Amino acid sequence: MNSLPQMNPAASPLDQLADIHLPPPVANFPWAPGWWALLGLGLIALVASVIWLRKRRRKSAFRRAALLELAALNAAASDQEFAQQLNQLLRRVALHSFAKDDIAGLSGDKWMDFLYQSCGDKPAFSDTSLTALLAAAYQPSSDSLPRDVLIAESKSWIRRHRSRHV
């Protein structure tokens, strides 16, 4: 006797197979707790960086205002007026950035030394341009003032000077 089930010779063996069982549907967010923690840390880092950038932008607003004013200085009529306005602008930026007691009394060579040393190892101003600026600011007539050089050096100084107070 044969123990195998009897098959109808006309029936296909594929007809006897059961349908495919599909897995249960996947949940909307099947993330492990580690991924949720990583997402939380990423959001905290994003918020902290936005706060830091806003604070930095607010602290450097005086630099942007000074650079805008510096761009408008080239319209000064005479070299003496240009030199006086540029010197006043540099002094206002210095007074904002450094201790007022250290800056307010500086003039002449001490003011020049301060402008040299406040940018670190690489001074923003050259000797000739700064000497010409101070001479033009306080003398009624002077040689032609290198305005483009002074504006470029002043722009560099405004961007690069650093203080512990600001």
- In the 8-state DSSP scheme, what is residue 73? G
The pLDDT of 38-43, averaged and rounded, is: 96
Q: What's the rounded Cα separation, in Å, for the pair 15 and 11?
A: 7
Q: Which two tokens stand for residue 59?
A: 């602290």
**pLDDT score, position 9:** 62
Average pLDDT value over all residues in the chain? 81
- The winner for highest mean pLDDT among 4-18, 55-69, 109-123 is 55-69
Helices 147-160 & 79-97 angle (0-180, nearest 10): 10
Q: What's the rounded Cα separation, in Å, for the pair 46 and 153?
A: 36
Q: What's the rounded Cα separation, in Å, for the pair 128 and 108?
A: 14
Q: Do 69 and 96 touch, CB atoms closer than 8 A?
A: no
The pLDDT of 60-68, averaged and rounded, is: 88
